[in-house]
């Protein structure tokens, strides 16, 4: 059985709308289980969180690799994760299973 993605089920506008509705601020502490499992993906403030989610949904490996090389997308740095935890911070988050994409909530593009 082939795994379907939102992109396969609808057009790009539908996917963006769905992802937008599923994007919310969440306390970082509530994501600790996902972080411990390695399922949390950091998205730099310089990027649009929804655009990254769409790119992941579309499996655009070339763009993802570029962002990863530029350290704009990847693992949440340990010092940042610790800082968010200590500050009881909230982050913007959107799920693109099995990943939870997060971005500092101070700025959202």
Flag whether 1 is in a domain: no
Q: State pLDDT tens for residues 49-75.
A: 999 999 999 999 999 999 999 999 999
Rounded CA-CA distance 71/17 in Å is 27
Residues 4-38 have pLDDT tens digits of: 344 445 577 888 889 988 899 999 999 999 999 99
**Whole domain around residue 56: which residue ranges?**
10-104
**Domain for residue 78, yes or no?**
yes
pLDDT at 4: 37
25 found inside a domain: yes
Q: pLDDT at residue 88 above 60?
A: yes
pLDDT, mean of residues 64-91: 97
Domain membership of residue 5 (yes or no) is no
Asked whether the predicted pLDDT for residue 45 surpasses 50, the reply is yes
User: Is residue 62 included in any domain, yes or no?
Assistant: yes
Q: Domains in the chain: how many in total?
A: 1
Residues 6+ apart with CB under 8 A from 6: 14, 15, 18, 19, 57
């Amino acid at each position: 059985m082939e795994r379907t993605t939102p992109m396969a089920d609808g057009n790009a506008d539908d996917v963006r709308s769905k992802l937008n509705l599923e994007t919310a601020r969440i306390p970082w502490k509530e994501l600790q289980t996902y972080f411990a499992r390695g399922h949390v993906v950091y998205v730099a403030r310089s990027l649009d969180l929804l655009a990254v989610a769409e790119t992941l949904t579309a499996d655009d490996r070339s763009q993802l690799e570029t962002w990863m090389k530029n350290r704009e997308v990847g693992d949440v740095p340990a010092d940042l994760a610790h800082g968010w935890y200590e500050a009881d911070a909230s982050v913007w988050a959107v799920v693109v299973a099995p990943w939870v994409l997060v971005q500092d909530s101070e700025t959202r593009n």
